């Protein structure tokens, strides 16, 4: 470093040719550093990011110089620097470099063209502009042809991520599996193995969304084995975080909280605010399910604060929605409504329909349960239903919207419409793969009902459990079971007034009786 007064004096003593030589050497040196840091980050993220942050002014000056001169390595230079700008949350600078790289992209199919277009696709995807991102990745895939190569594999993954973000986990899984098949046909280099680990994690995510928890765990464990063998501590943290989410879905709350806290500590050490915000959100969810309300609020607020600082409206909107739910449960209804509306507005601005539908449901539910405008509640829920019908029913959890509309219809005195909505809720939930996990959680009750039907001496023990069920809010389910005990077998009639989960239990009892 030189004193600011000394710099222009020294620089002025050099001839123009010397100045140009030093500029070129500076550019080449920092391009080489960017390339080294890009690959070193997989092995030593803490040290690599510390160096990148310290040298960022030099890296930015050098990459701009490369762009100014349309250097043959300029697009690759942008790709390397953007990798760190993403982790540092410097999205404005990242977009600026991406836009400039677009202007010097080479011929279709070339390396510089691939990097430039892929960076643009990533930029659009991170901004929530999913259809535009999908168009870019499909353009890249077509430009690369059918020959199996690494760039083609990562592009398949990019398309899958667009479908995943757009609420189509089944389509995403198709592209992720295709990428893994093609990666398996390449030379098993460290880079290929690392990409397989990344994509196995993504596959686990969408399988979790689809309710295929066993397959999801297998995918995560395959990923974990790869990254552990590679010594990639950063990816180990990411996969453990995803296993925490799976544990959350399976109701294993202590495991989920432990995994999230470990991942949070690691991401804070790595200096990844975006990843830190994600883990804070998930940890808030785990606390929420454990009814640790204060801890949940604190975690959600920290996540939202980071996302707002980074300008990430997609994730911020999801966190505002979750925070609103906690505020609603703790009786802070006005603050909850404000956060729901804030979340919906942000979600619509970024065009993420999947999360918007959930937020509309939540606001409609608040209005319905707290004496709000039922007409507005119904309008909001119907808007959510319209969105849900355009995306995967499992990802949208469409049965929740049907049940909400049924409750609103009942309050409005519209019984026929309520019955129709409940029927559609039952059917959509029964078709969801994750419903089988729900049944497993109630297997003991189902077996006790079956035993009592076959042996009346077991009725007193069952009655004790039914009385407990009534006391904790399962009154409708208990009434249906008692009707089965006296001989009723009409599934449609028994399930008419039940929510989708209670209907699932009744349906399973009747299925066992028929078999």
3-state secondary structure 375-389: HHHHHHHHHHHHHHC
In degrees and rounded to multiples of 5, residue 13 shows phi and psi of -80, -10
Is the CB of residue 235 less than 8 Å from the CB of residue 43?
A: no
Can you read off the two tokens belonging to residue 432? Answer: 């969801």
Residues 357 and 347: their CA atoms lie apart, in Å, by 9
> The tokens 């939540």 sit on which residue?
362
Residues 238 and 230: their CA atoms lie apart, in Å, by 14
Within 13 A of 476's CA, how many CA atoms are on the CB side? 13
Residues 476 and 491: their CA atoms lie apart, in Å, by 14
pLDDT at 311: 86
Can you read off the two tokens belonging to residue 487? Answer: 């001989």
In degrees and rounded to multiples of 5, residue 165 shows phi and psi of -65, -25
**Residues present in the chain in total:** 515
For the purposes of burial, counting CB atoms within 10 Å of the CB of 26, is it exposed (0-12), middle (13-18) or buried (19 or more)? middle
pLDDT at 431: 87
Residue of 334, 336, 322, 332 whose CA lies nearest to 289: 322
Is the CB of residue 197 less than 8 Å from the CB of residue 9?
A: no
Is the CB of residue 285 less than 8 Å from the CB of residue 322?
A: yes
Is the CB of residue 289 less than 8 Å from the CB of residue 247?
A: no
**In 290-414, which ranges are continuous DSSP H helix?**
293-310, 313-329, 333-350, 353-369, 374-388, 393-396, 398-411
pLDDT at 101: 86
pLDDT at 364: 96
Instruction: Find all residues with CB under 8 Å of 58, minimum gap 6, and list them.
Output: 26, 30
pLDDT at 1: 65
One digit per residue, pLDDT tens: the chain, 515 residues? 678 888 888 888 999 999 999 999 999 999 999 999 998 887 788 899 999 999 999 999 999 999 999 888 898 899 899 999 988 888 889 889 988 888 887 778 788 888 888 888 988 887 788 899 999 999 999 999 999 999 999 999 999 999 998 889 999 999 999 999 999 999 999 889 999 999 999 999 999 989 899 999 999 999 999 999 988 888 889 898 999 999 998 889 999 999 999 899 988 988 889 899 999 999 999 999 999 999 999 999 999 999 989 888 889 999 999 999 999 999 999 999 999 999 999 989 888 777 899 899 999 999 999 988 999 999 999 999 999 898 877 777 899 999 999 999 999 999 999 999 999 999 999 888 778 877 888 888 899 999 999 888 888 888 888 888 888 888 899 999 999 999 999 998 898 888 888 999 999 999 999 87
Residues 374 and 258: their CA atoms lie apart, in Å, by 41
Residue of 300, 303, 510 whose CA lies nearest to 426: 510
Tabulate helix, strand, coil % of the chain (nearest 5): 80, 0, 20
Residues 316 and 346: their CA atoms lie apart, in Å, by 8
């Amino acid at each position: 470093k030189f004193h600011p007064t000394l710099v222009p004096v020294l620089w002025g003593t050099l001839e123009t040719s010397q100045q140009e030589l030093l500029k070129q050497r500076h550019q080449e040196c920092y391009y080489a550093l960017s390339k080294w840091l890009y690959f070193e980050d997989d092995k030593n993220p803490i040290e690599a990011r510390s160096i990148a942050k310290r040298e960022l002014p030099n890296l930015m000056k050098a990459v701009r110089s490369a762009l100014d001169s349309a250097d043959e390595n300029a697009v690759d230079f942008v790709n390397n620097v953007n990798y760190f700008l993403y982790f540092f949350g410097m999205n404005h600078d990242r977009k600026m470099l991406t836009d400039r790289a677009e202007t010097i992209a080479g011929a279709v199919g070339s390396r510089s063209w691939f990097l430039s277009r892929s960076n643009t696709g990533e930029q659009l995807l991170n901004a929530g502009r999913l259809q535009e991102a999908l168009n870019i990745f499909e353009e890249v895939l077509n430009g690369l042809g059918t020959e199996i190569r690494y760039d083609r594999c990562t592009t398949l993954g990019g398309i899958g991520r667009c479908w995943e973000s757009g609420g189509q986990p089944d389509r995403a899984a198709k592209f992720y599996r295709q990428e893994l098949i093609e990666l398996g046909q390449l030379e098993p280099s460290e880079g290929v193995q690392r990409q397989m680990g990344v994509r196995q994690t993504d596959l686990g995510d969408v399988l979790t969304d689809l309710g295929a928890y066993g397959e999801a765990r297998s995918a995560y464990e395959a990923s974990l084995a790869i990254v552990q063998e590679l010594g990639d501590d950063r990816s180990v943290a990411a996969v453990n975080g995803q296993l925490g989410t799976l544990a959350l879905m399976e109701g294993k709350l202590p495991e989920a909280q432990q995994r999230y806290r470990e991942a949070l500590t690691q991401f804070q050490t790595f200096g990844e605010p975006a990843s830190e915000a994600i883990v804070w959100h998930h940890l808030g969810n785990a606390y929420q399910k454990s009814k640790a309300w204060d801890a949940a609020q604190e975690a959600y607020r920290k996540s939202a604060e980071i996302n707002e600082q980074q300008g990430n409206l997609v994730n911020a909107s999801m966190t505002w929605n979750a925070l609103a739910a906690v505020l609603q449960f703790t009786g802070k209804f006005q603050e909850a409504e404000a956060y729901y509306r804030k979340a919906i507005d942000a979600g619509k601005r970024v065009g993420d329909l999947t999360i918007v539908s959930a937020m509309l449901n939540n606001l409609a539910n608040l209005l319905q349960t707290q004496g709000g405008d039922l007409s507005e509640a119904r309008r909001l829920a119907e808007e959510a239903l319209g969105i849900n019908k355009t995306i995967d029913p499992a990802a949208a959890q469409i049965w929740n919207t049907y049940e909400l509309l049924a409750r609103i219809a009942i309050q409005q005195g519209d019984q026929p419409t309520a019955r129709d909505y409940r029927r559609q809720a039952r059917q959509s939930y029964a078709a969801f793969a994750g419903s089988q996990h729900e049944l497993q959680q109630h297997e003991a009750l189902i077996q006790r009902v079956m035993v009592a039907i076959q042996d009346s001496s077991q009725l007193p023990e069952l009655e004790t459990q039914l009385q407990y069920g009534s006391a904790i809010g399962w009154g409708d389910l208990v009434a249906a079971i008692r009707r089965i005990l006296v001989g009723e077998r009409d599934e449609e009639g028994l399930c008419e007034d039940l929510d989708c989960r209670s209907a699932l239990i009744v349906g399973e009892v009747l299925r066992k009786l028929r078999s």
